[in-house]
């Protein structure tokens, strides 16, 4: 019997991975983004001398701002408290508007495909338009004060709460719904007894996360007259009182840090035990398994059976959630009292907003068309360059902040603290500082977004690294590989798909952020937007908002497609 000849060593013996669709999409995405970043770098006229020169200018400004002056501390604390109430009320209003909208935007609960399309369109529009843009418009419609800030936070929050809640509704188990419908329950009863209990944990998490975001966002709305501590920051900077401005920034930073710690603690307390570990969860699961058996009963017997009424049990999780619900309701009442907003005026303001919106129709794309195009190109360039520079900082920070690959516990803890500090200062405030140090233009905006990207993306990378499978690392280590060899051969291949998705997500967010940096002189379309509002060219304002929406939504669709192919 002939034996097979051993394989010949040569070109054919080299094993190379096959070119799959995900790998092709990954390479194409990385190559395209690198090309865009290079073109953007040239467009904004960045160079290494500019980068290092900007760092020295920032150091000089910081030296000029020291020591910190807290002469306006009392007023800063009062306005910070107003900022807190703005965030609470804005989140509350967003929840009121998002919950019915989410049910209309979910395929399994919407009454009609047309309603589904309209609801999804409203959600997408509110997510694509930045909250500061809403604030600019609402200040013009309603005058200066906290009310425009509350409504701006609410409208923009609808985009996130509505989308995530609609997705959670679509992912619910349909068997309990079919079982309850079979006993003669109406649509509303079916939703309350089967869908609401399933989405409650996700709803709590989404609402708290959005409140955390709104607490950060509300600190800068005062820069356009929408109330809160940002108004004081704008005033001190306008007077060139940089020491006092640094005092205000310090108050904002401490406020955001405390709110982040508080929100994280509340989220952990509310969502503990999810997955069936709480008392009573077994009873609820048993009840769910028994529901389909009701469908086998005769119709008349089902209608007469008292046990056909399905109610979730009062588990510890439900009790804690209800307690925090009542607490949140108390905060809402206290918020209306604290910011001195008439409840009737709060809801009748929508008529004034509608009247003002009519002044923006039809949008004018002709008068400022070339400026709009150039502004959007500059906005994309700022987002691309800042994403690249921010990722260069965030990748090493992300690995050092991952407990399973960090050098040691001390380095891990220090890096986590650094990330919290970076994330504690909003990008718009960083842009103000960089504009004061470097001057007007896109370079200041790039610096601000790069630092913001470093804090945000590094945390995402650290979380992804901590979730990798340890088996490949152990196998590589057993061969005597060094630490760097282990990282590049067993950690990076596992992290790479998630990293690509996170970079695209960050680029998507940076486009929205860069669209408003021009309001404070950081380049991009925001400068033209702010000027159009100042000269009352509202038809041009509408054209700019539509341009921002189209660009942001297009990038979001492309990024979503790539993430689905890669991850």
Reply yes or no: is the peptide bond before residue 506 cis, omega within 30 of 0.
no
- SS3 for 482? coil
- Do 444 and 390 fall into the same domain? yes
Domain interval for residue 483? 33-66+367-567
> What is the model's pLDDT at position 46?
76
Residues 392 and 212 sit within 8 Å (Cβ to Cβ): no
Residue 151, domain member (yes or no):
yes
Q: Taking residues 207-217, report their average pLDDT.
A: 83
- Do 181 and 155 fall into the same domain? yes
Task: Examine the pLDDT at 64 and tell me if it is beyond 80.
Answer: no
- Do 401 and 351 fall into the same domain? no
* DSSP 8-state assignment for residue 8: P
Q: What is the largest CA-CA distance in the chain?
A: 97
DSSP string for 299-350: HHHHHH-GGG-------HHHHHHHHHHHHHHHHHHHHHHHTT--HHHHHHHH
Task: Examine the pLDDT at 289 and tell me if it is beyond 80.
Answer: no
* DSSP 8-state assignment for residue 105: T
Residue from 288, 279, 123 nearest 198 by CA: 288
Residue 414, domain member (yes or no):
yes
Reading the block at residue 45, the tokens are 């006229």
> What is the model's pLDDT at position 131?
86
Residue 328, domain member (yes or no):
yes
- Do 267 and 411 fall into the same domain? no
Q: Residue 331 and residue 343: Cα distance in Å, rounded? A: 15
Residues 37 and 214 sit within 8 Å (Cβ to Cβ): no
Residue from 481, 472, 491 nearest 398 by CA: 491
Residue 136, domain member (yes or no):
yes
> What is the model's pLDDT at position 320?
66
pLDDT band at 184 (very low <50, low <70, confident <90, very high): low
Which sign, positive or negative, has the C-alpha torsion 233, 234, 239, 240?
Answer: positive
Residue from 119, 135, 126, 132 nearest 167 by CA: 119
- Do 128 and 55 fall into the same domain? no
Higher pLDDT, 525 or 342: 525
- Do 517 and 373 fall into the same domain? yes
Which sign, positive or negative, has the C-alpha torsion 551, 552, 555, 556?
Answer: negative
Residue from 42, 27, 132 nearest 381 by CA: 42
Supply the CATH number for residue 486's domain: 1.10.3720.10
**What is the domain count for the chain?**
2
Residue 383, domain member (yes or no):
yes
Q: Residue 505 and residue 559: Cα distance in Å, rounded? A: 7
- SS3 for 177? helix
Reading the block at residue 125, the tokens are 């529009």
Q: How far is CA 428 from CA 212, 253, 453, 491, in A?
A: 17, 13, 13, 35
Residue from 545, 122, 137, 538 nearest 362 by CA: 538
User: For 4-13, 24-33, 132-141, which range has the lowest pLDDT when averaged over its residues?
Assistant: 4-13
Segment of 6-10, 56-60, 149-153 carrying the highest mean pLDDT: 149-153
* DSSP 8-state assignment for residue 9: P
- Do 446 and 432 fall into the same domain? yes
Residue 10, domain member (yes or no):
no
CB burial readout 88-100, b (16+ within 10 A) else e: bbbbbbbbebbbe
Higher pLDDT, 31 or 566: 31
* DSSP 8-state assignment for residue 195: I
- Do 348 and 433 fall into the same domain? no
Residues constituting the chain: 567
Q: Which of the listed residues 305, 338, 358 is the one where a domain comes to its end? A: 358
Q: Residue 218 and residue 83: Cα distance in Å, rounded? A: 6
Q: Residue 201 and residue 131: Cα distance in Å, rounded? A: 26
- Do 228 and 318 fall into the same domain? yes
Residue from 315, 305, 316 nearest 179 by CA: 305
Q: Residue 265 and residue 262: Cα distance in Å, rounded? A: 5
- To the question of pTM greater than 0.75 for the whole model, the response is yes
Q: How far is CA 437 from CA 46, 237, 433, in A?
A: 16, 12, 6
Phi, psi (degrees; rounded to nearest 5) at 212: -60, -45
CA angle (65 as vertex; 61, 66 as ends), nearest 5 = 120
Q: Residue 549 and residue 353: Cα distance in Å, rounded? A: 19
Task: Examine the pLDDT at 314 and tell me if it is beyond 80.
Answer: no
Q: Taking residues 538-558, report their average pLDDT.
A: 86
Q: Residue 64 and residue 450: Cα distance in Å, rounded? A: 23
Reply yes or no: is the peptide bond before residue 67 cis, omega within 30 of 0.
yes
pLDDT band at 291 (very low <50, low <70, confident <90, very high): very low
Reading the block at residue 123, the tokens are 């959600």
Q: How far is CA 223 from CA 146, 279, 299, in A?
A: 12, 48, 63
For residues 437, 441, 446 and 447, what is the CA-based torsion angle, rounded to 10 degrees?
0
Higher pLDDT, 408 or 11: 408
Residue 95, domain member (yes or no):
yes
Q: Which of the listed residues 305, 337, 358 is the one where a domain comes to its end? A: 358
> What is the model's pLDDT at position 305?
45
Burial tier of 74 (Cβ tally within 10 Å: 0-12, 13-18, 19+): exposed
Mean pLDDT of all residues in the chain? 78
Phi, psi (degrees; rounded to nearest 5) at 558: -65, -45
Residue 120, domain member (yes or no):
yes
Q: Which of the listed residues 358, 391, 411 is the one where a domain comes to its end? A: 358
- Do 118 and 257 fall into the same domain? yes
Q: Tens digits of per-residue pLDDT, 217-270?
A: 888 888 888 888 888 888 887 777 878 888 888 888 888 888 777 776 666 665
* DSSP 8-state assignment for residue 4: P
- Do 325 and 233 fall into the same domain? yes
Residues 502 and 457 sit within 8 Å (Cβ to Cβ): yes
Chain center to CA of 371: 29
pLDDT band at 282 (very low <50, low <70, confident <90, very high): very low
pLDDT band at 317 (very low <50, low <70, confident <90, very high): low
With a CB cutoff of 8 Å and minimum separation 6, the contacts of 150 are: 86, 89, 90, 93, 227, 339, 341, 346
- Do 77 and 62 fall into the same domain? no
Q: Taking residues 109-128, report their average pLDDT.
A: 87
Q: Residue 130 and residue 545: Cα distance in Å, rounded? A: 10
């Amino acid at each position: 019997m002939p034996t097979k000849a051993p394989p010949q060593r040569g070109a054919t013996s080299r094993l190379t991975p096959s070119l799959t669709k995900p790998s092709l999409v990954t390479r194409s995405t990385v190559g395209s983004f690198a090309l865009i970043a290079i073109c953007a770098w040239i467009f904004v006229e960045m160079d290494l001398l500019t980068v290092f020169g900007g760092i020295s200018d920032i150091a000089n400004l910081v030296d000029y701002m020291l020591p910190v002056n807290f002469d306006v501390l009392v007023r800063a604390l009062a306005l910070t408290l107003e900022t807190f109430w703005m965030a609470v009320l804005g989140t509350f209003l967003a929840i009121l508007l998002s919950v019915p909208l989410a049910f209309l935007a979910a395929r399994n609960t919407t009454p009609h495909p047309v309603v589904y399309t309209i609801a999804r369109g409203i959600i997408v529009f509110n997510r694509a338009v930045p909250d500061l843009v809403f604030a600019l418009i609402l200040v013009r419609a309603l005058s200066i004060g906290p009310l425009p800030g509350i409504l701006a936070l609410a409208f923009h929050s609808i985009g996130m709460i509505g989308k995530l809640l609609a997705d959670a509704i679509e992912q619910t188990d349909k068997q309990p719904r079919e079982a309850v419908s079979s006993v003669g329950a109406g649509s509303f009863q079916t939703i309350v007894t089967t869908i609401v209990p399933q989405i409650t944990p996700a709803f709590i998490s989404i609402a708290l996360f959005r409140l955390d975001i709104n607490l950060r966002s509300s600190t800068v709305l005062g820069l356009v007259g929408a109330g809160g501590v940002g108004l004081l920051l704008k005033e001190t900077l306008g007077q060139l009182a940089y020491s006092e401005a640094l005092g205000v920034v310090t108050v904002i930073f401490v406020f955001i840090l405390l709110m982040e710690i508080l929100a994280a603690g509340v989220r952990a307390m509310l969502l503990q035990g999810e997955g069936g570990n709480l008392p009573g969860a077994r009873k609820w699961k048993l009840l769910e398994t028994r529901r389909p058996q009701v469908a086998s009963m005769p119709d008349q017997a089902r209608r007469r059976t008292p046990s056909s009424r399905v109610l979730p049990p009062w588990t510890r999780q439900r009790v804690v959630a209800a307690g925090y619900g009542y607490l949140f309701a108390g905060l809402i009442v206290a918020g209306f009292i604290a910011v001195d907003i008439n409840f009737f005026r709060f809801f009748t303001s929508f008529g004034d907003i509608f009247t003002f919106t009519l002044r923006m129709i039809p949008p004018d794309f002709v008068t400022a068309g070339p400026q709009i195009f150039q502004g959007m190109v500059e906005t994309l360039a700022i987002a691309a360059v800042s994403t690249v520079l921010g990722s260069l900082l965030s990748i090493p920070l992300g690995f050092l902040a991952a407990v399973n690959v960090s050098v040691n516990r001390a380095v891990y803890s220090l890096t986590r603290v650094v990330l919290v500090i970076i994330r504690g200062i909003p990008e718009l405030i960083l842009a103000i500082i960089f504009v004061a140090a470097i001057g007007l233009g896109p370079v200041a905006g790039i610096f601000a977004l790069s630092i913001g990207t470093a804090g945000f993306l590094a945390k995402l990378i650290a979380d992804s690294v901590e979730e990798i499978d340890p088996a490949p690392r152990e196998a590589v280590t057993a061969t005597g590989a060094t630490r760097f060899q282990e990282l590049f051969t067993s950690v990076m291949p596992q992290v790479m798909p998630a990293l690509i998705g996170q970079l695209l997500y960050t680029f998507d967010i940076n486009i929205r952020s860069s669209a408003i940096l021009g309001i404070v002189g950081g380049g991009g379309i925001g400068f033209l937007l702010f000027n159009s509002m100042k000269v009352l060219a509202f038809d041009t304002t509408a054209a700019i908002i539509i341009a921002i929406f189209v660009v942001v939504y297009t990038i979001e669709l492309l990024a979503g497609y790539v993430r689905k192919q890669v991850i």
